[in-house]
Amino acid sequence: MHDLPGHGEPPATTGSPNSTRTLAGIGTVVAVYLVAAMLQLPQHGRDLLVEAQAGHAGHASSPDPAASGDGEEAAATEAHGHEATHETAPGHQHADDHHAAGPAPPIYTVIPFVVLLALIAVLPLIPSLAHWWEHNSSKFLVASILALITLAYYVAVHPDSVELHFPAHGLTEPAAGGLSFGLAGTVLVNALCAEYIPFILLLFSLYTITGGVRIEGDLEATPTTNAAFIGIGALAASFIGTTGAAMLLIRPLLETNKQRRHVVHTVVFFIFLVCNCGGCLLPIGDPPLFLGYLQGVDFLWTMSLWKEWLFVNAIVLAVYWLWDSFFAYPQESRRDRSRDERSARSLRVSGLWPNAPLMAGVIAAVALLDPSKTIPGTDWHPWIYLREVTLLALVGFSLLLGSSEIRQRNGFTYFAILEVAALFVGIFICMQPALAILNERGGELGITSPIGFFWITGGLSSVLDNAPTYLVFFKTAQALPNPAGSVAIAGVEEARLMGISLGAVFLGAMTYIGNGPNFMVKAIAEQAGIRMPSFFGYVLYSAGILLPVFALTAVLFL
């Protein structure tokens, strides 16, 4: 079986991926952050955020100087209250006035966002353009052009103030005359600093650290063995991410099944569960949930979805076992079964040191180093971007201490994560007008029920990327009044948030383009000689198997 380095990428040559430049880049970022910390910049950003939260609650507060260890900055914050902590660039107003932001942009401003998502879905399916689109430089070019069109609107056309989200809320007013570069700068800060950087660094850390772990072996490919592979992957997806679990387990699953002729359905169910439905128990499990965490959803709130997670994954896994046991496996020839039995050998896992403790470190960093919350048992709010720098440091330790030989045997390259980075820089910028419009007019869509949010979020997640789709409808629900007596999570009624979260995660499995790992697994399987279904052939699988399960889930739990 041949490993696939990445779609549209030259085959890997001998030697490990060039980690020297990656380590140098990580070292540079960490050094710059330490210098910034010496200048009190991350601390000041943290203080702006904390004071804005306190002001919004109606009382002044600031980090305890003794607890934070930030000395003069914390003392100045406490002495001057809001006035000290809301110093902003010219054109900005007091953060407590963020509710006075001007009207949202007109509806035509979402065209670049819609065009970008449509191109992501369609270009890989057009034979004459598919090869060009495979290159990350092509994806970045398209994403950048559409992002610049969006920013140009704010520079030259938008007449009203824009809300600033990073590090704390504020307002940016348009220029009195001429071009409003300040508005475009605020949109750029919102898209990149508040959302894109935390998002992409989490994916980068999960992708790179799990790339240093390898599972080798060839078990007897019985229905129970395959179901165990898929079930373990579905569980792991919530804790090491759907991308990490898929990349870790797809190759040993294919190796185990290489003597079998009926394998397509096994890969399809692997995409269903490991690449999608298994990832809803923690924010690191699937990108849309991490965006919710960045919007203020508690890190452990997603654990409350365990009943829905268990229901969907158990039913789909049972369907797989029945299919393989009574339909696919009996069709294997006696000769192929005999070859499979003779070639069986036990699994061997390598690379757990140092990557297993580093993965635990990723989970701890995401859970604890949120600057908007104190570390449990203390009064200390982490500095701005301390979480992201910690994630980069953990990646650096993985590259420095881990085995380059294991990464080479895994066919590990940075192509897949660079593909995500290239596309999402445009997505996060282009969707800013859509988010502003939905925040203002979300109630006009007429969607108020949890089931309604489940289906509209899930339906769009199946044909668009599920991360931005989640964020759009999170903002929509946030703009709605919550029913009397209901529990609100980050400003969203909990039942609605359940619908949005489950829809984005589960229905990302409906097509190859619903979630990033789907296409990656398809490509690896095809490189191994498996004829995977076409785009619409895959949809026949998902519509027949998943839609009834999802409909039952919505009726029983929402």
pLDDT at 240 over 60: yes
| pLDDT at site 69 | 43
Q: Are 505 and 280 in contact (CB under 8 A)?
A: yes
pLDDT at 460 over 80: yes
pLDDT at 94 over 70: no
Q: Are 260 and 439 in contact (CB under 8 A)?
A: no
pLDDT at 261 over 50: yes
Give the contacts of 114 (CB within 8 A, at least 6 positions apart): none
Amino acid at 272: F
How many CB atoms are located within 10 Å of the residue 420 CB?
22
Coil, strand or helix at 285: coil
| Torsion (CA) 84, 89, 94, 98 in degrees, nearest 10 | -140
At 62, is the pLDDT very low, low, confident or very high (cuts 50, 70, 90)?
Answer: very low
| pLDDT at site 446 | 86
At 347, is the pLDDT very low, low, confident or very high (cuts 50, 70, 90)?
Answer: confident
The domain limits of the chain are: 26-93+110-196, 211-351+403-412+446-557
Instruction: Please tell me the distance from the alpha carbon of residue 12 to that of residue 18, in angstroms, as a whole number.
Output: 11
Using alpha carbons, select from 269, 202, 283 the residue that is nearest to residue 504: 283
Instruction: Please tell me the distance from the alpha carbon of residue 43 to that of residue 70, in angstroms, as a whole number.
Output: 7
Taking only Cα atoms into account, the Rg of the chain, rounded to an integer number of angstroms, comes to 24
Question: What's the predicted TM-score (pTM) here?
Answer: 0.82
How far out from the chain centre does Cα 476 lie?
19
pLDDT, one tens digit per residue, over 442-451 is 777 889 999 9
To which residue do tokens 């804790």 refer? 239
Looking at 43-52, 65-74, 243-252, 371-380, which range is the least confident one?
A: 65-74
At 67, is the pLDDT very low, low, confident or very high (cuts 50, 70, 90)?
Answer: very low
**121 vs 17: which has the higher pLDDT:** 121
| pLDDT at site 7 | 40
pLDDT at 57 over 70: no
Query: Average pLDDT in the 296-319 region?
Result: 96
Angle at the Cα of 292 from the Cα atoms of 291 and 294, rounded to 5 degrees: 65
**254 vs 14: which has the higher pLDDT:** 254
Query: Average pLDDT in the 379-405 region?
Result: 96
At 479, is the pLDDT very low, low, confident or very high (cuts 50, 70, 90)?
Answer: confident
Instruction: Please tell me the distance from the alpha carbon of residue 370 to that of residue 243, in angstroms, as a whole number.
Output: 23
For residue 324, what is the DSSP state?
Answer: I
Backbone angles phi, psi at 109, to 5 degrees: -70, -10
How many CB atoms are located within 10 Å of the residue 176 CB?
7
Using alpha carbons, select from 244, 346, 345, 289 the residue that is nearest to residue 503: 289
Instruction: Please tell me the distance from the alpha carbon of residue 553 to that of residue 558, in angstroms, as a whole number.
Output: 8
| pLDDT at site 58 | 56
The token duo for 468 is: 């931005």
How far out from the chain centre does Cα 223 lie?
31
For residue 15, what is the DSSP state?
Answer: S
At 95, is the pLDDT very low, low, confident or very high (cuts 50, 70, 90)?
Answer: very low
Give the contacts of 374 (CB within 8 A, at least 6 positions apart): 380, 381
pLDDT, one tens digit per residue, over 128-166 is 998 999 899 999 999 999 999 999 999 999 999 999 989
Backbone angles phi, psi at 163, to 5 degrees: -80, 135
Backbone angles phi, psi at 455, to 5 degrees: -75, -40
**73 vs 531: which has the higher pLDDT:** 531
pLDDT, one tens digit per residue, over 185-213 is 999 999 999 989 998 998 899 889 988 99
Looking at 2-6, 437-441, 459-463, which range is the least confident one?
A: 2-6
| pLDDT at site 84 | 35
Query: Average pLDDT in the 252-257 region?
Result: 91
pLDDT, one tens digit per residue, over 10-30 is 333 333 446 889 999 999 999
| pLDDT at site 445 | 80
Q: Are 473 and 143 in contact (CB under 8 A)?
A: no
The partner residues of 171 in beta bridges, in order of sequence, read: 93, 163
**How much of the chain exceeds pLDDT 90, in percent?**
58
